[in-house]
């Protein structure tokens, strides 16, 4: 990434899960952290040169991709992903001191929180009105100001906003996680680690039967496993979509590089979003390449073709 950033923008205000995840990066001890009002604002700070990196949520294990982040990476001035962090998520119901559960008539949180607490609300607050906030911590701030009775946020945000946790450990899905990414301006990707991920966005040339199968075939025939596939509207009419993809491997791997070349030849447009270390590499076995898809085998095949072209008639 070149010179390490002097400042990181992130989805604020203080007390968000994003901030907690960001602070797991060792270098934040020497960086200025800039809370921003939204994901677009954090990414725009990088584009404007006000911060050299932004840290934002991109996927959760309950609802999938965070569409605001994906859309910003798809449509805005190009940026690249350099790191990712996984954070286990559980919510607390934060209220002003003295509030009882039966007093809670209105609740707020970031929209991504709702699918993770929906069943809990149905069981414990069936009549409460939900309204979305810019972030979970911003929801806590609004409760502090008296705008809402309660907010779903991290328990760690209670003290910051003068609130108390009425309930803790709230989650509809066990082991829920959110994935966050560190995003900067385009530059040379970090060297491969052997446990990497490559992210791209692809646009089809036209809509035709088997079109998506053809695109996915570029990955399949080279033994590149997909980790995320999400369609997003292009804004050019109903039925026009692009596809955000995370794949195992690094752009310096021959099988990944040749996949990207195949996509570049066949697609209307391909946006490279980066190759970077997988956050789960320490705890999950990394898939070995399928037979015939290692770098050694790709090089050997290329040399065989070259000998044929030179008339050396290899076996």
Per domain, the residue ranges of the chain are 1-88+174-187, 91-170, 188-315
Peptide bond into 13 cis (omega under 30): yes
What is the predicted pLDDT for the residue at 283?
65
How far is residue 197's CA from residue 295's CA, in Å, rounded to a whole number? 16
Which residues make beta-bridge pairs with 248?
197
State pTM to two decimals: 0.85
Distance, CA of 264 to CA of 270 (rounded, Å): 6
- Which pLDDT score, from 0 to 100, does residue 286 have? 67
- pLDDT of 207: 76
Closest CA to 65 of 246, 306, 315: 246
pLDDT, residue 303, reads: 86
Question: How high is the pLDDT of residue 309?
Answer: 82
Neighbours of 75 (CB within 10 A): 13
Identify the CA nearest to 41 among candidates 106, 117, 134, 104.
Answer: 134
Same fold? 1-88+174-187, 91-170 = yes
- CA 31, 37, 38 angle in degrees (round to 5)? 95
What is the reported pLDDT for 5?
Answer: 46
Task: Give the integer Cα–Cα distance in Å for 150 and 158.
Answer: 11
Q: How far is CA 243 from the centre of its chain?
A: 14
Domain 188-315 fold: Alpha-Beta Plaits (3.30.70)
Dmax (CA) for the chain in angstroms is: 87
Spatial CB neighbours of 132, under 8 Å, sequence gap ≥ 6:
108, 109, 110, 111, 114
Q: Which residues of the chain have pLDDT under 70?
A: 1-5, 282-286, 314-315
* Cα-Cα-Cα-Cα dihedral sign, residues 241, 243, 244, 250: negative
Topology annotation, domain 91-170: D-Maltodextrin-Binding Protein; domain 2 (3.40.190)
Q: Residue 81 pairs with which residues in a beta bridge?
A: 183
Distance CA 200, CA 264 (A): 11
Question: CATH assignment of 1-88+174-187?
Answer: 3.40.190.10
Determine the pLDDT at residue 310.
82
3-state class (DSSP) for residue 213: helix
- DSSP-derived 3-state class of residue 28: helix
What's the confidence (pLDDT) of residue 314? 67
| Predicted pLDDT at 62 | 85
pLDDT at 2: 46
């Amino acid at each position: 990434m070149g010179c390490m950033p002097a400042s990181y923008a992130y989805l604020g205000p203080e007390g968000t899960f994003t901030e907690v995840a960001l602070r797991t990066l060792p270098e934040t001890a020497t960086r200025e952290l800039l809370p921003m009002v939204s994901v677009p604002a954090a990414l725009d700070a990088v584009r404007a040169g006000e911060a050299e990196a932004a840290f934002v949520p991109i996927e959760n294990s309950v609802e999938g991709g965070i569409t605001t982040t994906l859309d910003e990476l798809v449509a805005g001035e190009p940026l690249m992903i350099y790191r990712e962090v996984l954070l286990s998520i559980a919510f607390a119901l934060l209220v002003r001191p003295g509030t009882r559960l039966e007093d809670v008539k209105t609740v707020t949180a970031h929209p991504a929180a709702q699918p993770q607490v929906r069943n809990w609300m149905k069981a414990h607050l069936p009549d409460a009105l939900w309204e979305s906030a810019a972030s979970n911590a911003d929801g806590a701030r609004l409760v502090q100001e008296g705008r809402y009775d309660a907010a779903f946020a991290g328990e760690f945000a209670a003290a910051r906003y003068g609130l108390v946790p009425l309930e803790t450990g709230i989650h509809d899905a066990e082991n829920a996680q959110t994935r966050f990414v560190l995003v900067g301006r385009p530059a040379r990707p970090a060297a491969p680690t052997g446990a990497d991920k490559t992210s791209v966005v692809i646009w089809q040339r036209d809509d035709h039967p088997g079109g998506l199968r053809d695109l996915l075939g570029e990955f399949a025939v080279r033994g590149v496993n997909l980790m995320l596939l999400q369609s997003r509207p292009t804004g050019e009419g109903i039925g026009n979509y692009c596809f955000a993809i995370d794949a195992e491997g690094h752009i310096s791997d021959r099988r990944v590089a040749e996949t990207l070349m195949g996509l570049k030849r066949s697609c209307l447009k391909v946006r490279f979003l980066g190759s970077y270390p997988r956050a789960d590499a320490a705890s999950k076995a990394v898939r070995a390449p399928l037979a015939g898809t290692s770098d050694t085998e790709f090089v050997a095949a290329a040399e065989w073709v070259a000998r044929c072209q030179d008339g050396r008639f290899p076996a």
